[in-house]
Structures are given as structure tokens and as C-alpha cells.
Amino acid sequence: MNVPSLLIGDQALPRIVFLHGFLGSGSDWLAVARELERDYCSVLVDLPGHGETPIPKVPKEGNPELFFMETVDALAAELRRSAAAPCFLVGYSMGGRVALALMMRHPDLFTKAVIVSASPGLRTEEEQAARRKSDEGIARKIEKNFEGFIQAWYEQPLFATLKNHPLFHEIERERKINNPGNLASALRLLGTGVQPSLWDALAQNRVPTQFFAGEKDLKFVEIGRQMVNLCPDSTLEIFSGCGHTLHIENRELFLDRLKTFFNKQQPS
């Protein structure tokens, strides 16, 4: 599986790998990367079904959980080929779930990680099955009426603060450029319901990690607190007044916290 990416900044500088959320693409991080390019080279990845990355053909009888981990391993292989490891890692929402799996499975690739508004999956098979059923319903809505889906998607409470942001209408327009079929497939193959649970693995984490959550995104504030309790060498940063998309809603604070964490020397 080829996972293309865009590099912003001098390739001799330390690298930050950015993973976007559902409906997005690597270019979602362009404004952040431009702010960082004097000190870092940003690697902006398009996850499968988004941006320039197509969905590979998957047999109907194939195991979606295997596809999730194959995506993680393909990303790791791409980073190893780049000869730039270890890198810093940042993942938001769906990209945060992929980032968690990536750093747990390939810890040697990363110096530090920031996980934004994301979870380590669902704990039980019953929860996973229910989520797969729910995601299948959403995938069919995407295929049937994409514009209606986009409108309904941003009516969710976790995006309430984003809807009041000056950039919201630009973001909404960008989302409508996506290929609905690819997005529906991405949800079926990378959704929370098919992600192997990482809850029990968090205790073995070897990568210094900061979890970011928006104050108004109560679900992910609670998930962040639970993850910090289980995950060694981790902290939780709660962004006041923000919801799920805290890196957009308060980009200045996001950049400040990101640089502070990445620049901080680890105890020897």
C-alpha cells in the first residue's frame, strides 16, 4: 500500500508526521506546517480514501481489522524508507487513532507523540459490533446523499464550536470536494468499530505522549483522562473554550503547546 505525503520545510530539520481526521487530508495541516517550517520539516500524510490516497481493493470476505493494521504498517514502512526516523508524531481524531496504533506497534520510529481528540478504540467486541453497524449506516448515507451527510455531520455537538469559527465555511467547502465512495470505504475500513482495541496495550507505551482535548468535547476529555491513567510518560492538555477541532479553533495555543512539548528535553 502506497501512502503519499507532502513535505513542508527543510528536510534536514527534525520531522513531524501529521495524520488528519475523517473527511480531511494532509493539506488540513498546511497552516500549522507553515508556522513550523523554520524549525521542523512537516510530513503531511493522506490516509486511505482521503486526498491523493485511494482505497486499495479489499476482498469482500477480508478482515477490516487486518486492513487497519496494514495501513499502520504501511505508514511505518514509508517512514523507514524516508531514513528520517525517529520523528515526532501528531494525529487528530481518526488520524489520532491511527497514530496511537503506529506508536504502540513501531515505537522506535518516534521521539514523542501528540494525540488530539482521539481514543484507543472500543474495549469490547459488543461495542465494536454496535459501532460497525452504526458506521455502516453512516457510510450508506455518504453514498446516497453526500451533501446532506456533510451538513448533518457538522450538526454534531462536538463540532458546535467549530461552526462558529471564521474558517468553518471554508472547511465545509473543502469537505465537499471529497470522493463519497472513497470516504464510505474509509469509514468501513478505518472506523472505530474495526480498530483493534489498544486500551490494554497503553501500559506498555514507550513513546512520551501528550493527549490534547477541547474543554467542551466532554467525551474526549474523559477518554483522555482514562488514557493518562493507563499510559506511562503521558499528560493531558485541556484546551479552554475549544471543542473537537481544537487545533483549528485555537491554532496559536495548539502551536505553542506542540512546540513546548517537542522542544522539552527528556530526563536522561
The residues, ordered by sequence, that sit 6+ positions from 264 with a Cβ below 8 Å of its Cβ are none
Residue 15: what pLDDT? 95
pLDDT band, very low/low/confident/very high, at 266 (cuts 50, 70, 90): low
In this predicted model, which residue has the larger pLDDT, 145 or 55? 145
Is residue 244 within 8 Å of residue 117, measured between CB atoms?
yes
Residue 6: what pLDDT? 86
Instruction: Return the minimum-mean-pLDDT range out of 9-18, 80-89, 242-251.
Output: 80-89
Residue 99: what pLDDT? 98
Q: What mean pLDDT is predicted for residues 205-227?
A: 97
- Measured between alpha carbons, how far is 126 from 132 in angstroms, rounded to an integer? 10
Q: Tell me the three state secondary structure of residue 15.
A: strand
> 42 vs 13, 77, 189, CA distance in Å?
9, 17, 26
How much of the chain, in percent, has pLDDT values that exceed 90?
Answer: 82
pLDDT digits (tens, 9 = 90+) for 71-93: 999 899 988 887 677 999 999 99
Evaluate if residue 62 carries a pLDDT over 80.
no
Evaluate if residue 257 carries a pLDDT over 60.
yes
pLDDT band, very low/low/confident/very high, at 1 (cuts 50, 70, 90): low
pLDDT band, very low/low/confident/very high, at 221 (cuts 50, 70, 90): very high
E strand or H helix at 91, and its extent?
strand 87-92
In the numeric block, the cell 503519499 is attached to 4
Evaluate if residue 268 carries a pLDDT over 60.
no
**Domain extent listing, the chain:** 5-120+196-263
pTM for this one? 0.95
Residue 140: what pLDDT? 96
Q: What mean pLDDT is predicted for residues 172-178?
A: 91
- Measured between alpha carbons, how far is 3 from 210 in angstroms, rounded to an integer? 25
- Biggest alpha carbon–alpha carbon distance for the chain: 55
Q: What mean pLDDT is predicted for residues 8-34?
A: 95
- For 185-209, letters b (16+ CB in 10 Å) and e give bbbbbbbbbbbebbeebbeebebbb
Q: What mean pLDDT is predicted for residues 139-151?
A: 95
Residue 81: what pLDDT? 84
Q: What is the mean pLDDT of the chain?
A: 92
CATH of segment(s) 5-120+196-263 = 3.40.50.1820
Evaluate if residue 65 carries a pLDDT over 80.
no
How much of the chain, in percent, has pLDDT values that exceed 70?
Answer: 94
Q: What mean pLDDT is predicted for residues 97-117?
A: 97
Residue 198: what pLDDT? 96
Evaluate if residue 59 carries a pLDDT over 60.
no
Residue 101: what pLDDT? 97
What letter represents residue 26's amino acid? G
